[in-house]
Amino acid sequence: METMNTSGGLPGNLTDDELKHLAQSERMAINVSNIANLVLFMAKVFASIESRSLAVIASTLDSLLDLLSGFILWFTAHAMKNPNQYHYPIGKKRMQPVGIVVFASVMATLGLQILLESARQLMAKVGPNTNPEKEKWMIGIMVSVTVVKFVLMVYCRRFENEIVRAYAKDHFFDVVTNTVGLATAVLAIRFYWWIDPTGAIIIALYTISTWAKTVLENVWSLIGRTAPPDFLAKLTYLIWNHHEEIKHIDTVRAYTFGSHYFVEVDIVLPEDMVVSEAHNIGETLQEKLEQVPEVERAFVHIDFEFTHRPEHKSKV
């Protein structure tokens, strides 16, 4: 905040060429993830047929939903790339959390289905058929899939884009489910049959808890929740030190409206100040606030006193 106050801008801002290159890299990460999900899904279908393990089938169904969810996120990214300022005056960045909510809801639904099927198999006391040759194929495929997913997770975590990071979270989730699925399938073949549906239940519970948490996080971002106090304090510091003519700060609000914050500021300037000077102070303050990485848009209201009631009242 001190650097922004003294220099008038955020240090280390990317140039237009760097932003363009970053966008290309993000698209590449999404495309690579989608292609990998398709190839790995086909490999896991084969492993499921060979092993007939419920835990492996749970992991395979997860990959099937990866393709569906990947399409949802790809569509979201594509829609955000083509804004229409007449139909969407402030852009389509709200598409990010909406797409992630749909993504996470589908994943949580998968977990519930697997949980029910595992419970049914435990009550029926039916385990997977054992075959040493098929077991080798299953182990080889699942290990290969896990390694590829781990590499993709590390690659996607390099980006700040929320959609690419959703892919990274999904790849990490696949590493966990594939590892648990492989371990429980092998243990069920070697020792006790009930280890396999138990492993599937573990995967299902992990699926539901992980993606339910993701849904809640993104729902909060869509309903206008206030920013934390430390962030508001940073904005207040930036506003107060913006110009020596600012006599009072009436209001500082920051609330979620998608993945970033909208900021509303009321400042008090001298009553006899000319309009052009007051306008320049307000406009430069708006531009400075919008350079904060977490801020999407800022609105600066200028007044000459602060004893009146707030201009905006909440509607019941």
Mean pLDDT of the residues in the chain: 75
pLDDT digits (tens, 9 = 90+) for 169-183: 777 877 877 787 777
Q: Does residue 151 fall inside a structural domain?
A: yes
pLDDT > 80? residue 154: yes
Domain membership flag for residue 243: yes
pLDDT at residue number 280: 92
Q: Verify that 164 and 279 share a domain, yes or no.
A: no
For residue 300, name the pLDDT band (cuts at 50, 70, 90): very high
Residue 315 belongs to a domain: no
pLDDT of residue 283: 92
CATH number at residue 234: 3.30.70.1350
Do 208 and 242 fall within a single domain?
no
Per-residue pLDDT tens digits for 219-270? 777 777 888 999 999 999 989 988 888 899 888 989 887 778 889 999 999 9
**165 in any annotated domain:** yes
Q: Verify that 217 and 247 share a domain, yes or no.
A: no
pLDDT over threshold 60, residue 57: yes
The domain tally of the chain equals 2
* Residue 157 sits in the same domain as residue 241: no
Residues 240 and 190 occupy one common structural domain: no
**Range ranked top by mean pLDDT from 12-21, 51-60, 80-89, 243-252:** 243-252
The CATH number of residue 84's host domain is 1.20.1510.10
Segment (H or E) for 73: helix 54-81
Q: Whole-model pTM?
A: 0.57
Question: What pLDDT score does 174 carry?
Answer: 78
What SS3 state is found at 283?
helix
Q: Are residues 126 and 208 in the same domain?
A: yes
Within a domain: residue 316? no
**31 & 128 share domain:** yes
Is residue 2 one of the residues assigned to a domain? no
| The predicted structure's pLDDT at residue 7 | 62
Residue 263 is predicted with a pLDDT of 92
- 312 assigned to some structural domain: no
Q: How far is CA 87 from CA 83, 115, 315, in A?
A: 8, 43, 25
Which domain-ending residue is among 168, 190, 222? 222
Q: How confident is the model at residue 8 (pLDDT cuts 50, 70, 90)?
A: low
> Where does a domain end: 222, 257, 289?
222
- Pick the last residue of a domain from 189, 222, 255: 222
- 32 and 49 share one domain: yes
Question: For the chain, what is the total number of helices (H) and then of strands (E)?
Answer: 9, 3
- Residue 187 has a pLDDT of 75
Whether residues 183 and 243 share a domain: the answer is no
Q: What is the pLDDT, as a whole number, of residue 232?
A: 92
State whether 27 and 81 are in the same domain.
Answer: yes
- Whether 185 and 247 share a structural domain: no
Per-residue pLDDT of 23-46, as tens digits, reads 677 777 777 777 777 777 777 777
Q: Residue 246 sits in which domain range? A: 229-303
Write a three-state SS string for 116-184.
HHHHHHHHHCCCCCCCHHHHHHHHHHHHHHHHHHHHHHHHHCCCCCHHHHHHHHHHHHHHHHHHHHHHH
Same domain? For 129 and 217 the reply is yes
